[in-house]
Amino acid sequence: MSGVHILAIESSCDETSASVISNGRILSNVIYTQKIHEQYGGVVPEHASRLHIRHILPVVQEAMSQSGIALEELNAIAYTQAPGLIGSLIVGSTFAKGLAWSLNIPTLAIHHMKAHVLANLIEKPDIPFPFLCLTVSGGHTQIVQVDSPYELKVIGETIDDAAGEAFDKSAKMLGLPYPGGPLIDHHASNGNPKRFVFAKPQIEGLNFSFSGVKTSILYFLQAELKKDDQFIANNLNDLCASIQYTIVKILITKLKKAVKETGIHTIALAGGVSANKGLRSSLTLEAQKQHWQLHIPSFEYCTDNAAMIAMAAHYAYLNEEFASDEQSANARGSF
Ligand code: KG4
Ligand code: ZN
Ligand nearest to the CA of 43: 1
CA count, 13 A, side-chain hemisphere, 182: 7
Residue 326 scores a pLDDT above 80: no
d(CA 220, CA 146): 39
Pocket lining for ligand 1, CB < 6 angstroms: 13, 137-139, 164, 167-168, 179, 181-182, 185, 271-273, 275-276, 303-304
The amino acid present at 295, given as its one-letter code, is H
End-to-end CA distance of the chain: 33
Distance of CA 276 from the midpoint of ligand 1 (Å): 8
Distance of CA 147 from the midpoint of ligand 1 (Å): 26
d(CA 229, CA 259): 44
Q: What is the mean pLDDT of the chain?
A: 95
* Ligand 1 atom at minimal distance to the Cα of residue 138: 6
In the chain, pLDDT over 70 holds for what percent of residues?
100
Instruction: Tell me the mean pLDDT in the region 190-210.
Output: 94
Ligand 1 pocket test target in 11, 111, 137, 309 with most atoms within 8 Å of CB: 137
pTM recorded for the entire structure: 0.94
Instruction: Tell me the mean pLDDT in the region 176-196.
Output: 96
CB 295 within 8 A of CB 267: yes
**Residue 328 pLDDT level (bands cut at 50, 70, 90):** confident
Distance of CA 222 from the midpoint of ligand 2 (Å): 32
CA count, 13 A, side-chain hemisphere, 126: 0
Instruction: Tell me the mean pLDDT in the region 12-37.
Output: 96
**Residue 239 pLDDT level (bands cut at 50, 70, 90):** very high
* Ligand 1 atom at minimal distance to the Cα of residue 164: 12
Distances (CA, A) of 160 to 97, 166, 211: 34, 10, 6
Distances (CA, A) of 18 to 13, 64, 158, 251: 14, 8, 29, 31
Distance of CA 224 from the midpoint of ligand 2 (Å): 35
Distance of CA 142 from the midpoint of ligand 2 (Å): 12
DSSP code for 324:
P
pLDDT digits (tens, 9 = 90+) for 140-154: 999 999 999 999 999
CA count, 13 A, side-chain hemisphere, 217: 27
pLDDT digits (tens, 9 = 90+) for 35-88: 898 888 888 899 999 999 999 999 999 999 999 999 999 999 999 999 999 999
CB 335 within 8 A of CB 115: no
Domains of the chain: 5-118+305-318 (3.30.420.40), 128-298 (3.30.420.40)
